[in-house]
A and B are shown apart, each in its own frame.
Chain A
């Protein structure tokens, strides 16, 4: 698939912008702070309903404006579909697909799919598990949008359960407060087990693509592996770490068992200590964990390998290419990785690239170039 145009109104620094796009490579060149990233962020937001830079919507709306609007036309298999999203901080966002207003913006998911690689992705290798969980869950949603609903439900149930645990901590009659805990256990285990199962299946499918992508990016090394570190107690966590995928029912009952064993600690801390929200995707190079052991260059290769693997997985899954976004990454890569990356993405249907200096982008990536100056986009 590819975007045919992108229109912004009051999004970030843009009062309005209208960018015609075509298949192949499109490069946005401009000095820092001119608004290059804002353009690709808008495309990414349409695909994921989230930003790669901020968790809240408020920064996405231009200062002084009440709402931001992002519109796009997506071409997939010769058909054009129009999308519109109204971003209303503090209120419900509103989506539109073609002419029809949607009940929830969530229904926009799947209409356009993107894979973005940005400097922030180095955190996938170097920082906390939260980023790696987000990587898995975002890919899950990109593959099957219905997971957005399950993910949302899980968070809501988790908040309720944590609130109950917290209130039990301070209560004189702890047992009475905990009387309704099994209700939340049941619901959390049900949704959580399905989420863990889906993540494991996803990792199974991703692994071969990851090995290939890492090998190509790093120029020969082929030892990139992932392991799912589950917060479950007992043997099942071990089974999962060995790369096996248990049945949903097994995971569900292991969650119940872990809740039972952890109850005192959970009440003490007022937190749910078991579940997909506490799991980690461990990245390994051969026998060593990438975090702490990988060199700077290897870390970049790994992060890039994950994103390219996601791209290839979606390409095979969907029978169409997701839109590939490379935000400011060429400046971060050494010459060898730059060249190899350029080769790997040469056949993607659409690649949107941002760069501060045009010379950072390898010469073989030719296509349309736009200059971005103070929130205005001009073709070059």
Chain B
């Protein structure tokens, strides 16, 4: 235990995701020894981020205005809508530069153990969007784990009854990987999702 404010700092840092007690201690002492200007910049960003950043009123991505940059972009294809769990998933999708449609952020996945049901996600908002926007296809890009799959199942049941084409991101072998190192679940999925090769 350290005295007073140093311990407070370590405790606060330790509450952040991915930071254990040892890392918290290291970061705290790094901050104590760092250039005061660097620390001041960090403090300012921390203060401003909560005030300035909001969530896009359409897709719930992080935004600095009422709508995020993607929803405001007229070049985006409004007929394609990709549903993700978190804003960070949008960043990952955008890095691919493959997708030119728009997004919808659910804000998590269904998990009854954590008390998260469909009502706690932005699903009503999604349905409302589908009523108002000319969307042809919804791409479910929730995580390929149990809760993500459950959320995808829930959404596909709901949306199919509305007559919308629903697709799910393929899961399977990582590109550049070796078959022999793939675990059996992944390999099984890859088999299920195999495609006929066009000559």
Which chain A residue has the least Cβ–Cβ distance from B149? A187
A238 interface hit (Cβ, 8 Å) = no
**B112 touching A176 by the CB < 8 A rule?**
no
**A180 touching B149 by the CB < 8 A rule?**
no
How far apart sit A182 and B113, CA to CA, in the bound complex (Å)?
Answer: 16
How far apart sit A186 and B153, CA to CA, in the bound complex (Å)?
Answer: 9
Which chain A residue has the least Cβ–Cβ distance from B146? A156
How far apart sit A167 and B111, CA to CA, in the bound complex (Å)?
Answer: 12
How far apart sit A161 and B150, CA to CA, in the bound complex (Å)?
Answer: 11
Minimum distance in angstroms from B166 CB to a CB of chain A: 14
A187 touches which one: B111, B118, B153 (CB < 8 A)?
A: B153
**B110 touching A183 by the CB < 8 A rule?**
yes
How far apart sit A157 and B148, CA to CA, in the bound complex (Å)?
Answer: 12
A160: which B residues are within 8 A, CB to CB? 111-113, 146-147, 150
Minimum distance in angstroms from A7 CB to a CB of chain B: 27
A153 interface hit (Cβ, 8 Å) = yes
Interface size on A, residues (CB 8 A): 22
Minimum distance in angstroms from B135 CB to a CB of chain A: 22
B118: which A residues are within 8 A, CB to CB? 179-180
Interface size on B, residues (CB 8 A): 18
How far apart sit A187 and B153, CA to CA, in the bound complex (Å)?
Answer: 9
A146 touches which one: B110, B117, B149, B184 (CB < 8 A)?
A: B184
B150: which A residues are within 8 A, CB to CB? 157, 160, 180, 183-184, 187
Which chain B residue has the least Cβ–Cβ distance from A162? B112
Minimum distance in angstroms from A129 CB to a CB of chain B: 25
A157: which B residues are within 8 A, CB to CB? 146, 150
Which chain B residue has the least Cβ–Cβ distance from A176? B119
Within 8 A of A (CB), among B119-156: 119, 146-147, 149-150, 153-154
Which chain B residue has the least Cβ–Cβ distance from A185? B153
**A163 touching B146 by the CB < 8 A rule?**
no
A164 interface hit (Cβ, 8 Å) = yes
How far apart sit A61 and B40, CA to CA, in the bound complex (Å)?
Answer: 45
A156: which B residues are within 8 A, CB to CB? 146
**A149 touching B185 by the CB < 8 A rule?**
yes
Question: Which of A107, A149, A159, A160 lies at the interface centre, i.e. has the most chain B CB atoms within 10 A of its CB?
Answer: A160
Minimum distance in angstroms from B154 CB to a CB of chain A: 5
**A183 touching B146 by the CB < 8 A rule?**
no
**B185 touching A177 by the CB < 8 A rule?**
no
**B119 touching A167 by the CB < 8 A rule?**
no
Interface string of B153-185 (1 = CB under 8 A from A): 110010000000000000000000000000111
B154 touches which one: A107, A163, A177, A183 (CB < 8 A)?
A: A183
Within 8 A of B (CB), among A122-144: none
B4 interface hit (Cβ, 8 Å) = no
B18 interface hit (Cβ, 8 Å) = no
B115 interface hit (Cβ, 8 Å) = yes
How far apart sit A325 and B181, CA to CA, in the bound complex (Å)?
Answer: 31
**A159 touching B153 by the CB < 8 A rule?**
no
A163: which B residues are within 8 A, CB to CB? 112-113
Beyond A167-B117, A184-B150, 19 extra complex contacts between A and B, CB < 8 Å: A103-B183, A146-B185, A149-B183, A160-B111, A160-B113, A160-B146, A161-B112, A163-B113, A164-B117, A179-B118, A180-B112, A180-B117, A180-B118, A180-B154, A183-B110, A184-B112, A186-B153, A187-B150, A187-B153
**Which residues of B pack against A, CB within 8 Å?**
110-113, 115, 117-119, 146-147, 149-150, 153-154, 157, 183-185
4 pairs of A and B residues whose beta carbons are closest in the complex? A163-B112, A164-B112, A146-B184, A163-B113
What are 28 A-B contacts with C-beta separation under 8 Å? A107-B183, A149-B184, A156-B146, A159-B113, A160-B111, A160-B146, A160-B150, A161-B112, A164-B117, A167-B115, A167-B117, A177-B117, A179-B118, A180-B112, A180-B117, A180-B118, A180-B150, A180-B154, A182-B157, A183-B110, A183-B150, A183-B153, A183-B154, A183-B157, A184-B150, A186-B153, A187-B146, A187-B153
